[in-house]
Every structure is written in structure tokens, then in C-alpha cells.
Amino acid sequence: MSVPTSPDPRPAASTPSTTAPPAPTLTSRSILGMRVDVTTYADATARVMDWARSGQARYVCASNVHMVMETSDSAEFRDVVNGADLVTSDGVPLVWALKALGVPQAERVYGPTLMLHVCEAAAREGVPIALYGGTPESLEEFVVFLHSHYPGIEIACLIAPPFRPPTREEDALYTQQIADSGARIVFVGIGCPKQERWMAAHTGRLDAVLLGMGAAFDFHSGRVRQAPPAMQKLGLEWLFRLIMEPRRLWKRYAKHNPRFVGKFMLQLLGQKVIDRGRTAGKG
């Protein structure tokens, strides 16, 4: 069983010692029609924990270029993401986009790291969690990781759904298992856009906060390597993942990345034209 030996995988500078109170409102920007919220690890964690403690049905999306382009290609999926209670800037290019859209304080809130902050708070406050996604083996390894790093964390439910779409009966069974477990936070790791659609469909059926975490289970259990911090800061995490999994990912990046750059440049240009028109009108 492969478990990371690092004593703490979180960036020291962004690990909160306490759960800070969330701000009452969020600043948001539309990137190609998809809402992205300006938040921090402390703020996002505080919101999740506040919702979880009171048993509210909410869902959180961690957005990147892939998600933006999926929403750009599908109005139905755009409604799914825009309907989330929190949409974080998971990808560095989205942080750059937020800054270009007039939010200089924007920072990255990376899904796998946010997950660790939430697990830390959940362990400290005794809030039970559930894991939905991965394989039985990957979940077992991730549970070892969680117990090692967050002693006392209550993992109320583990579900490794089939990679095919579950049947109606299977879905009802899994949903009931999560509900019966008493979990107040559910980490969903079945990949974009499946996990976002699953969360939107199930948020009204579970009194829990659902967080779409993508490959976070495999990252933290050591099954899949994460990009080095330097590549992440440069916005090259996609390149590292492409090198690691070229056959699976090359079509996604070839399809989405160039279109994102082109479409966002057009969005910025259009915004500048609008701003100039407003300035001229005031004059």
C-alpha cells in the first residue's frame, strides 16, 4: 500500500490554524459565461463547515479550464456549475483571468488542497465525512492517509461506484447509504463533468455539503503524482499531467486549452470596448 511519507502535504503558508468566519458575500466574475467566486482556503473552509454543521444541502465546484470549456460547450452544464453554492478558482489560469477581470486579490483555491483544509476542520469539530468515487483499493489507501494525517476524523461512508453510469437502483442504494451514514460532508471524486452533474442531482436528496474533488483521492493516496509546485505556479500543471497520462489527456488539452485562450481574449477585448464606451458616455 502506497501512502505519502511527507508529514504534511499542505503548503505551510496557506494552512489555517482555525476556521475563519466566512465573509457575508462573495465577489464573482463570469469567465466565458461560467461564474467563478473569489475566495480563499480559510473562507471556503469556513463556509463548508458552517453549512455542514447545520445540515444544509449545498454543493461546491472546483473550476479549471476544462470545466470552463465544458460549460462553454453546454448550456445545461453551465447551469449546473452556475447553480453551485461556491465555485473556486482551482486552476491557475482562472486566477489570471480573475485578475484580468479586475480582481487583483484573486488567489488559487485548489480542490485537493481545499479538501485537506476541510478534513482538518472536520476532524477537529467532529463532523462526519463520506467519500464517493475511486476504486475500493484507492479508497482504502486514502482512508489510511486521512487517519494518519487527521487522527479522529470520522469517515462515515465509503462508496466506489462503477465507472459506468449506475443503474437507478444502484444510485438509490448509494444515496440511501450516504444519508443513513449521517455524513455532513461528501467528497465526490468521479471526474468533471460527471461529478458536478451528480452533485446537482443529489444535493436536494442529501443533508450534506457535496464537494467535487476530481483526482484528489488518488493524489493524496500517492497513486497519482501531482505537478511540482513550480509548475503549478506557472500554470503548467496541465503539461505535467499530460506527460504523466498522454493517451488519456492529450485530446482534452488539445481541444480545450487553445480555445480557452482565444475565447477569453475575445471576452477581454469586448469588456474593454464596453468600458471605453462607458467612459466616453460619462465625458
Task: For 186-220, write each residue's pLDDT tens digit.
Answer: 999 999 999 999 999 999 999 999 999 988 888 88
Domain ranges of the chain: 14-225
3-state secondary structure of 185: strand
pLDDT of 5 > 50? The answer is no
The Cα 239–Cα 249 span in angstroms is: 10
pLDDT for 12: 39
Its pTM stands at 0.85
C-alpha cell of 88? 473556486
pLDDT of 14 > 70? The answer is no
pLDDT digits (tens, 9 = 90+) for 225-271: 777 888 887 788 878 777 877 888 878 888 889 999 999 999 999 88
Q: How many CB atoms lie within 10 A of CB 79?
A: 11
Question: 88-114 in b/e burial notation, b at 16+ Cβ within 10 A?
Answer: bbbbbbbbebbebbebeebbbbbbbbb
Look at 244 and 43; give whichever has higher pLDDT: 43
pLDDT of 46 > 80? The answer is yes
Alpha-carbon separation of residue 14 from 1, 4, 64, 207 (angstroms): 29, 20, 20, 29
